[in-house]
Amino acid sequence: MKNFLNLTICIITAGVGQVLLKVGMTRTPVALSSVNLKLLESFLKNGYLITGISLYIISFIFWLYILSNVRLSYAYPFISLSYPLVIILSYLILKEPISNLTIIGIFLICIGVVFIGIS
């Protein structure tokens, strides 16, 4: 049960972090054509980017813990649940459309993870 909770935290922090990175990048006024001090300053002042990066780091730490305690062949497929999470959050937060084929894909991913989880 503890490993399932850790996997869930890993998935949620990665998914939410991804959406926050997207929001942050859409609000970055500097073009990414070259790395310079203005770009770095813009990143450091962007709360969405900082929070998204922080959540990614938290997700990575949980993933390392999971790798040390769970079979990789069991844990890794669960990470694919971050895809449906990102699609749903993108729909809710970013107002991105979801097609019928995308819904079918989300369903198939979830079914696949259930099959792996019960095997």
| Per-residue pLDDT at 56 | 94
Phi-psi region of 31 (alpha: psi -120 to 50; beta: other; left: phi over 0): beta
What are the tens digits of pLDDT across the range 64-96? 999 999 999 889 998 999 999 999 999 999 999
| Per-residue pLDDT at 41 | 78
| Per-residue pLDDT at 51 | 96
Which residues of the chain fall below pLDDT 50? none
Residue 41, classified by CB atoms within 10 Å of its CB into exposed (0-12), middle (13-18) or buried (19+), is exposed
| Per-residue pLDDT at 60 | 96
| Per-residue pLDDT at 116 | 87
| Per-residue pLDDT at 32 | 65
Number of neighbouring beta carbons within 10 Å of residue 93: 13
pTM given for the model: 0.85
